[in-house]
Chain A
Amino acid sequence: MSLTLLLQNILNGLSIGSIYAIFALGYTLVFSILGIINFAHGAVFTLGAYFTYFLMGGATGFNGLLANAKLPIALPFWVAMLVSGVFSGLVGIAIERLAFRPLRQRGADPLLTVVSSLGVALVIVNVIQYLVGAENYTFPAQTFGNLPPAVNFGTADNPIPIRTVQIVIFLVSVVVLAVLTYLINATKYGKAMRAVAEDPTTSSLLGIDTDRFIVLTFFVSSFLASIAGSLVGSSVSIAGPYFGIGFGLKGLAVIVLGGLGSIPGAVVGGLVIGLVEAFVPGEFSAYKDAVAFGLLFLTLLWRPRGLMGRKVIQKV
C-alpha cells in the first residue's frame, strides 16, 4: 500500500470513527444509567439530520404530506446543528417519558423496554417518510462557507486529497468529545450522572433526583445522536428516513467492542471500527460490516467485557 493511500485511509478512518464514537456515546450514556439499549437512538440520529436540514432553510421534496414546504428561516450550519440538537434532545425526553418511564415504574423486564424503543424507532422513521417522503436531502453546497471541497495533504505531483467535510467532521467530533468528557468528569451534574449510573438507589438515598438525571441523560444522548446525524448528513446527504438504521447497528458493535457502559470504551471502539473499515478495500465494501462484527467477535473471545469494560461484581 502506498503512503498516499495509507494516509488517506487513516484520515478517513478517524473521520468515520469519530462519528461512530459520538453516536455510540449516546447509547453508552443511557446504558450506563438504565442498563438497557435505546433502539430509538438511530431514529433520533436521522431526525437530527432532518431538523438541521430544515433549519438551514432546506425545502421538502414533492412527496409526503409537507410537500414543497420550507421554514421562513435559514440558519448557518453550526447554529442549525446546535438548535437541532436541542430539538432532538427534547424528542429524547419524550421517548423516555413514553417508552421507558412507564415500563420502569411498573418494574417491567428490561427486554420489554427494548421492544418499546424499537417501536418508537419505527414510528419516528415512518412519520418522517409520511411527512417529507423518501427523497434524499442534501445540505447546501456552501455548508462550511467558502472552504474548498478537498484539502491536499500531499504535493501537486503526488496529491493526497481529503474531503474538507471529513476534516471538519473529525475536528467537530474531537471538540464534542472534549466538552462531554469535561461535563461528565469535572462538573457537579456529571458527578451526579455518574453516581446514578453507579447505583441509582444509593444515589437517590443521598438526595440525587434520579428521574431528573435519567431525563438529562436522554437529552444529552439524543443531542449527541443529532450532532452525529447532522455531520453525516453534511458529508453524504440524508439518504431517506432509513439512513440511521445502519448507524444504529454499528453503534451497538462499537459499545460492545469498547465495553458496555464505558465512555472511554465508546470512543476507542468507534475509532477502532472506523479505522478497520477504512482499510477494507472498496471492492469488498459489502464486507465492511462483516469485518466490524468479526473484530467484535474476536475481541469478545479475548475480553468478554470489551476493550475497556469493567468486571461487574455480583453482590448477594
Chain B
Amino acid sequence: MNRAIAPICSLLLLLASCSSQSPSSKPGTSDASPSSSTTDALPIGVALAQTSNLALLGQESVNGAKIAEQFFRDRVKASGVPVRLVFQDAGGEEASAINAFQTLITKDKVIGIVGPSSSQQAFSADPIADRAKVPVIGPTNTAKGVPEIGPFIARVASPVTVLAPNSLQAALKLNPGINRVAVFYAQNDAFSQSETGIFQQAIKDKGLEIITIQKFQTTDTDFQTQAIAAINLKPDLMVISSLASDGANLVRQLRELGYKGLIVAGNGLNTPNIFPVCGVFCDGVLIAQAYSPEYASAMNKSFREAYTRQYKQDPPQFSAQGFTAVQVFVEALQALNQKSSVKNLSLAELRKALNDQILKGRYDTPLGEISFTSEGEVVQKQFYVAQIQVNSDGKSGRFALLK
C-alpha cells in the first residue's frame, strides 16, 4: 500500500511545493500549514527502510532516531536550535531510497539526511544528496567505499575491516585447535560481500584453511544444501556474513543438522531480532560488535535507559547507530550555531557549513567517542566481541561481552 501510495503522494506534494516555493527558501518551510512549534525547528531527514525485507534493519534504526529526537529536544529546549525529524520510507530497493532522498531534499528542504539502511542503497542514493550538497550520515552502511562517494557523505557505522578479525581472534581463544574453516556469505548483498572478503583475508592471515565457501541469497530460507555440503567436510569453525533473517535461519539449520562447532557471525546478525529466528540454536554464536549495551558511559547509560523504557528491551546496535547519526547532526548544528546564528544562513549555506562542522567535531555517543576523517569515515575507539547467551525461554537472550 505504502509503495503504491507513496509515489502518488510524492508527486502531488511535489506539484504543490513547485507552485508555492522559490529555490532559495529557508530550511523546512515547505509545509502548507506547519504548526508553530515545528516551523522554528530545523528539519533533519530520516530515509530508512520501514517496509520491505530491509524493514527489520531499518525499523531498529528508526527507533533509535526517534529516541534521539525526544532526547535532544529536551536538551536543546532552553538554548540552542531545535530540530525535528522528517521520516521518509526508503524501502528495500535502490529506487525507493532515491525517491526518499529526493523528496527530503526538494520538498522537505532538510538540512541533512540520516540514511539509507543498506550499503547497496547508499551507492545509488548518496550521490544524489552529494550532488545537491546535502550532508548525509549513513547509520548502518558498512561496505567499503561508502564515505568515498562524495564530500557530503559520512557514516557512523564502522567498516567491517575493523570488526571482523576481532571475532576470529575470540574464536581462536575459545578453541585454539581450530584449523578448518567453512565460510558462508550472502552473495546478493554489498555489505555481506565486503565483510566476507575481510573475513577470508583474516582467516588466511591467521594461517587457517578455508575448506569451502558456500554462497546464498539474503532472500533464501532453505539452507540445507549449503549446510550439508559444509558439515560433510567436517569444519572446526563456520564463519557467516549475511543479514539478520537469512543468517539466523542458516545458524538454526546448521545446528539442526548436527553441527556442534563454533560459529562466528558477521555484523548483520548483531541484533536481538535473530533470537526469534534461531532461538536456542543461537546459543554460543560469536559476534563482533560496534556497539554494546554494556558499554559503561554516561551517554550510553542515558540512551539505554530511554530505549529500554520505550521498547522494553536492550537497544540493538542499529538503534544505537540511528541514535548516533541524529546526535551528530544535532550537536554539529548546536556547535555551528554557537559560532554564528544559523538563522542568518540560506539553506545551501547551512548545509555546507553543517557538513564542514560534522567532519570537524568529536562526539560522545552511545557507541563511545567518535570523530570523522576528512573523507567522512567514522573513527571509533571501542569495539566488542560478544557471545550469545539464550535465555531459558528459548526466545530471548543477550549478547554477553567477551573480556
Contact = CB atoms under 8 A, between A and B. Distances in A.
A135 B273 contact: yes
A151 B51 CA distance: 38
Interface stretch (B38-46, B153-161, B201-209, B220-228): B220-228
B228 A285 contact: no
B380 interface: no
A285 B313 contact: no
Interface string A92-116: 0000000000000000000000000
B188 interface: yes
B10 interface: no
Contacts of B352: none
Interface in A18-75: 61-63, 68
Interface in A254-297: 278, 280-283, 285-286
B248 A163 contact: no
Interface in B213-234: 213-217, 219-226, 228-229, 231-232
Contacts of B1: 122-123, 125-127
Nearest to B58: A134
Contacts, number: 125
Contacts of B257: 150, 161, 163
A122 B4 contact: yes
A12 B245 contact: no
A181 interface: no
B226 A282 contact: yes
Interface residues of A, number: 48
Contact of A285 (B216, B232, B249, B395): B216
Given A150-B258, A282-B229, A141 B279 contact: yes
Nearest to A242: B53
Nearest to A142: B394
A4 B231 CA distance: 12
Given A136-B277, A246-B219, A283-B215, A129 B55 contact: yes
Interface residues of B, number: 50
A62 B187 contact: no
A303 to B, nearest CB: 29
Contacts of B338: none
Contacts of B83: none
Contacts of A129: 51, 55
Contacts of B403: none
Contact of B215 (A61, A164, A282): A282
Contacts of A133: 55, 59
A134 B53 CA distance: 8
Interface string B353-365: 0000000000000
A299 interface: no
A286 B187 CA distance: 9
Contacts of A136: 56, 244-245, 248, 273, 276-277
Interface of B: 1-4, 50-53, 55-56, 59, 63, 187-188, 213-217, 219-226, 228-229, 231-232, 244-245, 248-249, 253, 255-258, 273, 276-277, 279-280, 311-313, 394-395
20 contacts: A9-B225, A62-B63, A63-B63, A68-B312, A122-B1, A129-B55, A134-B50, A134-B51, A134-B56, A135-B56, A135-B59, A138-B276, A138-B279, A141-B279, A141-B280, A159-B258, A236-B249, A239-B53, A243-B221, A282-B225
Given A129-B51, A235-B222, 9 more contacts: A62-B312, A122-B3, A133-B59, A136-B276, A137-B276, A163-B256, A242-B52, A285-B225, A286-B187
